[in-house]
Amino acid sequence: MCLSNGYEGDVIDNMKTEVKVSADEEELVAQLRNYLTEKLTYLLEQNGTISIGVSGGSMPKVFSEALLSVAPELLNWKRIRIFMVDERHVPRDHEDSNLGAYLQLFPQELHHVFIPVPISKQVVHTAQAYEINLRKYLLPEQLNTYPRFDILFLGAGPDGHTASIFPGKEQLEKITDLNWVSVITDSPKPPPSRVTITMPCILNAKNVAFILTGANKRDVVRAIHEGDKSIPAAQARPMNNKLTLFLDEHAAAGVPNRESSESESPPPFDT
Ligand SMILES: O=C1O[C@H](COP(=O)(O)O)[C@@H](O)[C@H](O)[C@H]1O
């Protein structure tokens, strides 16, 4: 049942925010599948690797279902690479591992699609090794700059963190000259040690989509929608000024003037 469709095109400080609201998980997966289908169709016509960054937490299940149900002709696994936007510093077979959660949901023959986060004893070494792995696949278009992910799927906590960038802890330790990956050792959300891509990598992405469900994400949704830069999730505004929010009904309660926006039916914007 489709209780409400997405409405599109709210423009706040030049950011075009497309909001897709789903009635249940099945509809959320269908909306994600449509989005992936549209993006993959376009990206496959371009050259090179298609880079998709994903979050952990509640995201692996819906993202995996959506991607694995995209039409097979669009799933050119030789060209698709999936990256963790953050990883908890635990072994891959630990229940808290973000990558581990995806690997359980994907068939063994597709595990090579995921770029490993090599877990070392020290979290700083893990971050360095992961940054080296990112550089193998995400050559920046110009030297001395940040990678340009094709699509980032971000989650956010009720406190406003995204990836593992937490409020008040945005000044992450500089690991390398360019600092694509950094560490946090006192995360307010367990486990305390994590690696994360840095905010400039998020801002440099071609497409950024949040997947946010549940009533406890309402305030974060409001902050993102209003561009309230006090929390990291709301700072994650890509350079192309296009943001997509995939929400359920509970999280969508945070979208201001939702009813009136829906009835106005603003015209769709370009993709
Ligand atoms: O710890 C994390 O939390 C966020 C949000 O998780 P959720 O369960 O509330 O969806 C997640 O995006 C991040 O990747 C993860 O490491």
Check if 147 has its Cβ closer than 6 Å to any atom of ligand 1: no
User: Residue with structure tokens 């077979």?
Assistant: 93
Mean pLDDT check: name the lowest of 88-102, 154-168, 181-195, 236-250: 236-250
Check if 56 has its Cβ closer than 6 Å to any atom of ligand 1: yes
What is the structure's pLDDT at 43?
96
The whole domain housing 208 covers 18-253
Dump pLDDT digits (tens) for 72-102. Answer: 999 999 999 999 999 999 999 999 999 999 9
Is 218 domain-assigned? Answer: yes
pLDDT grade, residue 263 (50/70/90)?
A: very low
CA pseudo-torsion sign 112, 150, 209, 239: positive
Atom of ligand 1 nearest to the CA of 217: 9
Are 245 and 212 within 8 A, CB to CB?
A: yes
Is 260 domain-assigned? Answer: no
pLDDT grade, residue 9 (50/70/90)?
A: low
Dump pLDDT digits (tens) for 100-115. Answer: 999 999 999 999 999 9
Is 235 domain-assigned? Answer: yes
Is 49 domain-assigned? Answer: yes
pTM (2 decimals)?
0.91
Is 261 domain-assigned? Answer: no
What is the structure's pLDDT at 238?
86
Are 221 and 245 within 8 A, CB to CB?
A: yes
Is 86 domain-assigned? Answer: yes
CA of 135 to the centre of ligand 1 (A): 24
Mean pLDDT (the chain, rounded): 89
Check if 98 has its Cβ closer than 6 Å to any atom of ligand 1: yes
Check if 193 has its Cβ closer than 6 Å to any atom of ligand 1: no
Give the CATH number of the domain where residue 22 resides.
3.40.50.1360
CA of 143 to the centre of ligand 1 (A): 31
Is 6 domain-assigned? Answer: no
Are 255 and 222 within 8 A, CB to CB?
A: yes
Is 68 domain-assigned? Answer: yes
Split into its structural domains, the chain has a count of 1
Dump pLDDT digits (tens) for 39-49. Answer: 999 999 998 89
Identify the H or E element spanning 10: strand 7-12
Please state the separation of Cα 157 from the chain's center in Å. 13
Between the CA of residue 19 and those of 10, 186, 222, what are the distances in Å?
Answer: 8, 33, 12
Burial tier of 181 (Cβ tally within 10 Å: 0-12, 13-18, 19+)? buried
Q: Interface pTM (ipTM) of the complex? A: 0.99
pLDDT grade, residue 10 (50/70/90)?
A: low
Query: CA-to-CA distance for 61 and 150, rounded, in angstroms?
Result: 21
pLDDT grade, residue 15 (50/70/90)?
A: confident
